[in-house]
Amino acid sequence: MSQGRRAAERLQNKTIFITGASAGIGEATALEYLDAANGNVKLVLAARRLSKLQALKDKIAAEYPEAKVYIGELDVTETEKIKPFIQGLPEDFKDIDILINNAGKALGVDPVGAIDSEDIRGMIDTNVLGLINVTQAVLPIFKAKNSGDIVNLGSVAGREAYPNGSIYCATKHAVRAFTQSLRKELINTKIRVIEIAPGNVETEFSYVRYKGDIDAAKKVYKGTTPLYADDIADLIVYATSRKQNTVIADVLVFATNQASPYHIYRGE
């Protein structure tokens, strides 16, 4: 039996909850699961931008008419809304099997001493508190059946800090520490805890970081062939479609021209 067929069988009828699903890695991951499972998965897609989610749902319906998709508006920084969101899922989507903690952001490139307090709050509330609170809300579902996968989107910034990224780097270091602690807490269960830590990925991430300055955002990728959202989606689906006894615990992934946050070959 081929690897692809085995993966499809393991994913069949799984319910997958993806935060930050309206664009970038979140959107690509939703589509990758559908492709890997021949449409035989149930998707819970959450994000702040409901109109973008609706567009994605429409796209899925055109390509996978039988796929089951639930979309809902959720800002993970509004922690009081997380549990009600999960508790309010339709019955067919309540039994979550895979959680993808994808919602995250970087805001600004200011040095310490000049960082906007709203940017600090936005990154910490989304990247750390949002991820932790979503995990806490979903974990009882996994514990009740002694199975489930938690995938946290980390970053190379969680391995090696760099100038003008102090708060973002701090949040991703926090994600890494939380992930490692959680994995150790759950060692006597069949719940898998996975961190995927990408390097340079070209998505709208940089547009957000540079607050709409398209030229500045594009310079990040100038002279490179970066990773793309579907590259990361492929790794997420691979990790969560392994046999139960296998945990792809920790993945650091670069484009071929990157070796660290500092070392990016730009063909110059």
- Active-site residue list: 168, 172
∠ Cα 41 53 195 (to 5°):
60
Tokens of 1: 């039996």
Residue 197 is encoded by which pair of tokens?
């830590």
Tokens standing for residue 106: 């970087």
Euclidean distance between CA atoms 128 and 161, whole angstroms: 16
Classify residue 10 by burial, with Cβ atoms within 10 Å: 0-12, 13-18, 19+.
Answer: middle
Alpha helices, DSSP H only, in the chain?
3-11, 24-36, 50-63, 82-87, 117-123, 131-145, 166-185, 205-209, 214-219, 229-240
Contact by Cβ (8 Å): 1, 28: no
Distance in angstroms (rounded) separating the CA atoms of residues 120 and 175:
16
